[in-house]
Structure 1
């Protein structure tokens, strides 16, 4: 069994992605249409094991200055096998994202994973502002 990570939108299993996200702490209640719209406007990464999708992530980016890593997950029954590390590595090394010099993400529970790839807490969080609801 080999893991494949693809950016091909047509291969994404929208039902699988929606089912996971709508039950996650950060996207609880997200509709299938909202999932489709978010996928349409991002660079997406599907994680596949024997042609079955087992994970997902997306990057909201301008491909030059900024990339926001979002909706990263591996299905629970496939965790602990290094797939999330392979996913983050493939995102960071993706040829279209090599000019991006400012990456951001939000996580409540995966700091250890992201630190392995150079992410850290904001040095001055008072400079960052947000608007809208934040799922906790």
Structure 2
């Protein structure tokens, strides 16, 4: 388990702190990539991932979420990065992604991938960049 702080927030990988109902609500109603995602699908995604949460130290309430799918040795895919609307504008999203990056740094991964339609600047501040050879990457759409 890793833990760090950002202002009044504690960022943690502690699975016992997660609020799956809140994560599902955020993503299924307010995240363009997950609109309408079922609770069962979200719970399965959480179960199969390394989850990162940001929690308000005053209330204990979850304020942000991200998850990574990884083998902990060569690769990770960062996804479902979400900051609750009232907590936006405080750098929490950047801090959360930095916590993910820093968690994986000592493992020697070759890369962490992600996809975004609208937050390139947030990720570029932390060292992410477009693929050098996007034509080398393929996708198998399944649904």
TM-score under structure 1 length normalisation:
0.92
Question: Would the aligned equivalents of 2:72 and 2:104 in 1 still touch at CA under 8 Å?
Answer: no
Written as runs of structure 1 = structure 2, the 5 A alignment for 1:35-50 is 35-49=42-56, 50=58
Instruction: Note the C-alpha offset of 1:102.
Output: 1.1
Instruction: Note the C-alpha offset of 1:95.
Output: 5.6
Q: Name the structure 2 match of 1:11.
A: 17
Q: Name the structure 1 match of 2:33.
A: 26
Distance 1:93 1:125 in 2: 25
Paired residues, number: 134
Instruction: Note the C-alpha offset of 1:65.
Output: 0.5
Pick from 2, 18, 31: which aligns with 2:8? Answer: 2
Instruction: Note the C-alpha offset of 1:98.
Output: 2.8
Pick from 58, 79, 100: which aligns with 1:91? Answer: 100
Question: Would the aligned equivalents of 2:55 and 2:63 in 1 still touch at CA under 8 Å?
Answer: yes
Q: Secondary structure at the match of 2:52?
A: strand
Q: Name the structure 1 match of 2:80.
A: 71
Question: Would the aligned equivalents of 1:6 and 1:46 in 2 still touch at CA under 8 Å?
Answer: yes
TM-score under structure 2 length normalisation:
0.87
Gap runs ≥5 in structure 2? 1-6
* CA shift in 2, pair 1:104/1:97, >3 Å: farther
Higher relative contact order structure (alpha carbons within 8 Å, sequence separation ≥ 6): 1
Distance 1:123 1:95 in 2: 21
Distance 2:103 2:113 in 1: 16
* CA shift in 2, pair 1:115/1:62, >3 Å: same
